[in-house]
Each structure stands twice: as structure tokens, then as C-alpha cells.
Amino acid sequence: MEQFLLSFEPERKLLTVTELNARIRELLDTEFQGVWVSGEISGVKLAASGHYYFTLKDHTSQLRCVCFRMTARFLKFKPQDGVAVLARGRIDVYEARGEYQLMVEALEPRGFGALQFAFEQLKKKLTAEGLFAPDRKRPLPKLPNRIGLVTSPSGAVIQDMLQILARRFPGLHIRLYPAQVQGEGAIDAVCRAIRHFSESGWAEVVIVARGGGSLEDLWTFNEEEVARAIATSLVPVISAIGHESDFTIADFVADLRAPTPSAAAELVICTREQLLEELAASRRKLEQAIRYRLAAHARLLGQQGVDRAATLLHRTIGRHMQRVDELEYSARDLIRRKLQNNRTDWVAIDARLRQRDLRLRFAAVRSRLATATASLTERMNSRLNRKKAALDPLAVHLTGLSPTKILERGYAIVRSQDGTVIRDAAAAPQGTELEVLLGKGRLQTTVIRNT
């Protein structure tokens, strides 16, 4: 019976932890793509790799999130603690820990426009760094001969600027760096153009220009990369973005803000009359044709699956970089604990050395010696005072018995030449030489008569 039962036991499906996590990741990746999650950002960490790690939470739950560097650079604003947001992304499993997380692809703040929020956030940051300070603004050359233009080669902006420059000062050397000023790729294009003029040293002044539009249309010039490219330019930069009422981050950081592109052309040079319009037009047409061909080939490559392959490669690299970030955090904690332990040992050794410091022992001995010396001096003075108190009456009595005191009252002492005191006149016959001691002085006498 037991053998019969065992023969019908279901076959076990044995999976390793890695295989199970991989299957879960595939399932979540299929079911949860492009999901929107509402929550509050907490615990933002910016790793050295450029990845953002944070948590989305509400009043009862929380969700780990990661935004890889290649995605974060295109966010309209950077993650910040305490900000309520809508996050779009896909659910993924981080296999090293067996945890699921949201791979963020877009962020929008709730209750405040994303673009306006990002504008204020970046403006506050760059103001604190001093990029808007008036003392760092450079004066423009009074009569530049070489002018660099950074703008789109198509549209009315470049035409108006070239016409004004031609009318005001013919014969100028003008170089246009064609840059996409709106949409994907515009940030890199504008930054490359500014760096080109800064590094080449050809231009004496650069005008960054764009026509009017909505806040979204002008957003390229509210990006931090563009602002820093202008700030680090070795050539003075004029910002001429939109209409007179439009203000961008580029306007604040540039050396001069022009209310319109046409005004920039008028501010950069004094009045003259001609310009090489045909060369500028040919350049615009050639750049437009090249850009069209590149766009057509890019669409063709995208249709052939390059975009998908790039996305998969990006995600794989991102997972490995996330593991590197974790190892980096662990290494930092280990080094911090090791340094703390070494410091504790050092403090203990220093305390023991201080206890054995000969200078401290000498100081203690000197202190005891000073105390003993003071005590001995006090005892000697006390004893001398007692002896003096006992000696003073005897000195007074002795002074009263002193022969000199008797002599001072008029008496005298008579001595022979050998020093014998004469007490009887018979002891000094006639002719004897005597010495008479008085209260003050002595007398040498000779006995004339003895009675």
C-alpha cells in the first residue's frame, strides 16, 4: 500500500533562489509596466554612480524605488525628501536581495507644476552656489569681430539676428553652431555648442538665442547642464531666450540678458550696414539636410529593435551598478567602524601613558615638598618664638647685672697691668701703674700715694 501511494507522489519542481527570483522578475516585468504610483518621497540617496535611491510611502505602506543615472538626467526635477509625487515606472526584482522595487522613469510633483517646481528648485540651488552673483558677470567686448551664435538654424530667430547684425556692422565674422533648442537631445546640443566656442577660443562673444514659446518649449534653457555650461564658458555669453516677459535659468547665469534675440543682435555690436546672408542661409540648409538624414536613419534603426536592445542593456548595467552601490555602502560602514575602534584603543593607550607621565609624578613630589617645607618653616618659627619668649626675661635680668651698667652709674673697675682687679688699696703700692675702667673709656694711672 505504501509503495502504491509513493508511486503517485507529485514530482517536485526544484528551483534555485536565483531561478525563482528571475521568474518573479519576468512575471512582474510583464504585468507591471508603465504603472503610476502616488506617494511621498523619503530617504533620498544619490550614489557616486549617479543613481537615485529612495522610498515612496503613504500612511500605511512603502515601496523601494531606484532611478538610474541615464534616466535621472532627463527628470524635470530631482527627487527630494518630503515631496508628494506621481512616479511612473515598472516593477522589477533586485535578485541579490530578493526584493521588488519600482524602476522610476518619470516623476511629477503633486499640487505644483513639475516644470515650475524644477525651475524654483534649480534657481535656489544655483543662487546658493553664487552662479547668479553680479560680481562674476564679465563685461562684453566693445567691438567684437568674431561672434558665435547658438540657436536653431531654422526659424525666424536666426534670420532676424543675422539681418540686424548685417545692417549694424557688415563684415563681421559670425559662426553659427546649429543646436536643437527644444525636445529630446536639445540639452546636449546646446551644451556642446557652448563648449565648442569656449574651448576653441575663436569667438569673442557668444549669443545663445531662441524664439518665444511656452514654459515647456523654453525648458531646455532651464536645465542645470545648460546653466553650468554657460557659467564655465571662457567666452562672455549673452542669453536671448523668448520674449521680454520670459525668464529662464540661462538668463540669470549669463553675463548679459537680452529681452529678445533681436535685442541681443543690437546689444552685441554697434551699428553698421552689411552681412553675408547667403553664406548663413547655405549653412542653415546644409545643416537642415544633414539633420533630416540623421533623423531618418535614427528612425530606421529604432524600428529594427535597437531601442529595445539599448533598454535591456541599460537595465542590466543598472542592476550591476546597484550592486556596486550596495558594496560601496558596506565598505564605508566597515571603514567607519574600524576607525572608531582604532580611536577607542588610542584613547585608552593615551590615558595609560598620561598616568605614567614623569612630569605628573614630579609635579606631585614638588607639591608634597612645598607642603613639607611650609610646615617645617612654620614649626621652626613657632619654636624660635617660644625660645625667644623664654630668653627675653633672662636677657633683661642679665642686663641688670651687667658690670657695664654699674659703671654707667659712676663706678669704676681698677685693674693692674696683668689684669688683676684691685679691690684693696694695699694691693697697689706707690708707683704701681693701674688701668681704670669707666662707664665710657679707660684711664692709665700711676699710684702716687697709698693710704
Average of per-residue pLDDT across 368-391: 89
Q: Are 206 and 191 in contact (CB under 8 A)?
A: no
Q: Are 209 and 220 in contact (CB under 8 A)?
A: no
* Sequence ranges of the domains in the chain: 17-112, 120-297, 405-446
Backbone Cα Rg of the chain: 53
Measured between alpha carbons, how far is 253 from 451 in angstroms, rounded to an integer? 140
Q: Which range among 139-153, 266-280, 316-330, 394-408 shows the weakest confidence by mean pLDDT?
A: 266-280
| pLDDT band per the 50, 70, 90 thresholds, residue 305 | low
Vertex 400: Cα angle to 397 and 402 (nearest 5): 110
Q: Are 123 and 249 in contact (CB under 8 A)?
A: yes
pLDDT tens, position by position, 81-139: 877 888 889 888 887 787 888 889 888 777 555 667 777 777 888 888 888 888 888 88
Backbone dihedral angles phi then psi of residue 43, each to the nearest 5 degrees: 65, 45
Q: Which range among 5-9, 218-222, 249-253 shows the weakest confidence by mean pLDDT?
A: 5-9
Q: Name 202's Cβ contacts closer than 8 Å, sequence gap at least 6.
A: 146, 148, 175
pLDDT, the chain, mean: 82
Backbone dihedral angles phi then psi of residue 62, each to the nearest 5 degrees: -145, 160
Q: Strands 62-67, 433-437: parallel, antiparallel or unpaired by DSSP? A: unpaired
Quick one: CATH architecture of 120-297?
3-Layer(aba) Sandwich (3.40)
3-state secondary structure 388-436: HHHHHHHHHHHHHHCHHHHHHCCCCEEEECCCCECCCHHHCCCCCEEEE
CB count within 10 Å of CB 109 equals 20
Quick one: CATH architecture of 17-112?
Beta Barrel (2.40)
